Structure 1
Amino acid sequence: MKVLIVEDNKELSESLNDFLVGERFICECADSVNSAREKLLSYSYDCILLDIMLPDGNGLDLLRFIQLEKINSGVLIVSAKDALDDKISGLESGGDDYITKPFHLPELHARLRAVYRRKKTDGTNLIACNEITLDTDTMEIFVCNTRLEVTPKEFDLLHYFIVNKNRVLSRQSIATHLWGDYTDNLPNFDFIYQHIKNLRKKISACGGADYIETIYGLGYKFNTSGI
């Protein structure tokens, strides 16, 4: 899962980033409304961790921007202990859940995953596509009821493909989803081909179909329409 942390407290932002990276999330940080807007216009995120109080405005302004731009990211609002009005306003403005400071990091982790499930997978941890099933809680893949031995990146790659099935995904979007926005400066994305090659081989070995289609000059598509 790729998360944008919008928090102006540097120490807290770094703490959140370190914890979530340790839980296999891809994280980017923004410390203001303006920097968050720039990132949201340039990149896509599964979830946004949004602090209400920011140095150049209110996080609720950013929520309205997200709605206006039709950005399809889950939003977990971070609010002060007694800021009930902010919680209500945030949920009415498009937020999916809120967590109150101070909070425990495991609770934050659980709430982010719950927001993601509701937003992307209809509230379930199981994602099925024909003979392939992914369990987002245990990070396991099953093909024809056989468990695949996959790396974390291979799981994230297949998950990204299935959630976006029958859509063309550019190499750039795949790279930034799996490795973060720093991939902008890489000379090529040859490593994506290698991950896809390994994934295809493992799925095929368990009797699964090859759904990953190369769209030359554009990227890849998890094509279920022609199978």
Structure 2
Amino acid sequence: MKLLFVEDEPVLAGEMLNYFSSLGYRCEQASTYTQAREKINAYTYDSVVLDITLPDGTGMKLISSIREHNTDTGIVIVSAKDSLPDKLEGLNLGADDYMTKPFYLEELNARIHALYRRKTLRGNDQISFDDFTIVPLSKMLFYKGEEVSLTRKEYELLMYFTVNKNRVVSKPSIAEHLWGDHFDQADNFDTVYVHLMNLRRKLNTCSQKDYIRTVYGMGYKFTV
């Protein structure tokens, strides 16, 4: 899961990044309205944790930008403001949840995971196609009940394909999903190609079916 934390308090921002990174999330952070808007317009996130009081603007204005970019992105407002009007404004603008500071990181994690299950997994604990079963909670893949060994990047790539099933996804979008802000570390897209070919081979070895189709000049499409 890819998260963006929009928070200008350095200590809290650091705590959230460290905690969620330790759980295996891909985490990015913005400390100003301007930084957050640039990231939201450039990248897609599974969830955005949003403080509404920022040095150069209000986080409330970012909600519409998030919704325009991706309607399935979960939005959790975290704020020191605990008045009912503030909560209603945020929720009416399109936020999914509202937490008042201070809060427990474990509770924030539970709420983010609940949003992910509802929006991306459509309320399911597992994703199935043909005889394959993906278990997001344990980040494991099974074929007819037997585990299929995947690297972390192969698993993340498989999840990206299943969420975007029957859509053409480009190499740049795959690279950005796998590495986030750091995808430029891959000087070219050879690394993406290697992970993709390894995943394709493992799926094909199990089912004798090629799920990942090359769309020349555009990218790749995952079909079942």
Return the TM-score normalized by structure 2. 0.92
For residue 125 of structure 1, report the CA deviation from its aligned partner.
2.1
Moved more, 184-193 or 2-11: 184-193
Q: Secondary structure at the match of 1:180?
A: helix
Q: Secondary structure at the match of 1:166?
A: coil
For residue 39 of structure 1, report the CA deviation from its aligned partner.
1.0
Q: Given that residues 2 and 27 in structure 2 are in contact (C-alpha distance below 8 angstroms), is that contact kept between their aligned partners in structure 1?
A: yes
For residue 96 of structure 1, report the CA deviation from its aligned partner.
1.1
CA distance in 2 between partners of 1:154 and 1:169 (Å): 16
Counterpart position of 1:84: 84
For residue 54 of structure 1, report the CA deviation from its aligned partner.
1.1
Q: What root-mean-square deviation, in Å, do the aligned CA atoms of Structure 1 and Structure 2 show?
A: 1.7
Aligned length: 223
Counterpart position of 1:207: 207
Q: Given that residues 132 and 142 in structure 2 are in contact (C-alpha distance below 8 angstroms), is that contact kept between their aligned partners in structure 1?
A: yes
For residue 185 of structure 1, report the CA deviation from its aligned partner.
5.8
Counterpart position of 1:155: 155
CA distance in 1 between partners of 2:65 and 2:10 (Å): 24
For residue 208 of structure 1, report the CA deviation from its aligned partner.
5.4
Q: Given that residues 78 and 98 in structure 1 are in contact (C-alpha distance below 8 angstroms), is that contact kept between their aligned partners in structure 2?
A: yes
CA distance in 1 between partners of 2:135 and 2:88 (Å): 33
Return the TM-score normalized by structure 1. 0.91
Q: Is 1:71 the counterpart of 2:70 in the alignment?
A: yes
Q: Is 1:134 the counterpart of 2:134 in the alignment?
A: yes
**Structure 2, unaligned runs of 5 or more:** none
**Structure 1, unaligned runs of 5 or more:** none
Moved more, 130-139 or 159-168: 130-139
| Partner deviation per Cα, 1:139-192 (whole Å, 9 max, x = no partner) | 111123322111222111101100101111111111111111221364201111
Q: Given that residues 132 and 208 in structure 1 are in contact (C-alpha distance below 8 angstroms), is that contact kept between their aligned partners in structure 2?
A: no
Moved more, 98-107 or 76-85: 76-85
Which structure is richer in relative contact order (CA contacts within 8 A, separation 6 or more)? 1
Counterpart position of 2:11: 11
Sequence identity, in percent?
Answer: 47
CA distance in 1 between partners of 2:171 and 2:111 (Å): 30
